């Protein structure tokens, strides 16, 4: 059974940093990524990474966020720097094993002073 469990969310001041983790189990995956959803908005892609390390970032987070993965440990990470109030959302871990995709339950990130 596939499980994706996010951790590391919390409250941080604007300009601060936070690191999210996703512990995957039950399979190995091709593409993994982070998505976020704020109240009243759609779920949007933040960053993706393939099993060979190719990355894609949303324009809104380029230069501030870094996605990485440890295939040996089946872990996915998102380092977030220079956080803005607009980054406030529930962040979801995603993992793709064609033809199926899987989602974690999400972790809340709140950027506020």
Beta strands in 8-106 (DSSP E): 10-12, 18-25, 32-37, 44-49, 55-57, 65-70, 75-80, 89-97, 100-103
109 C-beta neighbours (distance < 10 Å), count: 22
Query: What is the full per-residue pLDDT of the chain (113 aa) written as tens digits?
Result: 999 999 999 999 999 999 999 999 999 999 999 999 999 999 999 999 999 999 999 999 999 999 999 999 999 999 999 999 999 999 999 999 999 999 999 999 999 99
In the chain, % helix, strand, coil (3-state, to 5) comes to: 5, 55, 40
């Amino acid at each position: 059974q596939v499980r994706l469990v996010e951790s590391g969310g919390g409250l941080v001041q604007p300009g601060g940093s936070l690191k999210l983790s996703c512990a995957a189990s039950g399979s190995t995956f091709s593409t993994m990524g982070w998505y976020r959803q704020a109240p009243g908005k759609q779920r949007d892609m933040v960053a993706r990474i393939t099993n060979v390390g190719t990355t894609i970032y949303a324009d809104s987070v380029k230069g501030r966020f870094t996605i990485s993965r440890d295939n040996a440990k089946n872990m996915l990470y998102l380092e977030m720097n220079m956080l803005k109030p607009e980054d406030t959302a529930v962040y979801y871990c995603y993992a793709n094993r064609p033809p199926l995709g899987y989602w974690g339950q999400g972790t809340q990130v709140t950027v506020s002073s």
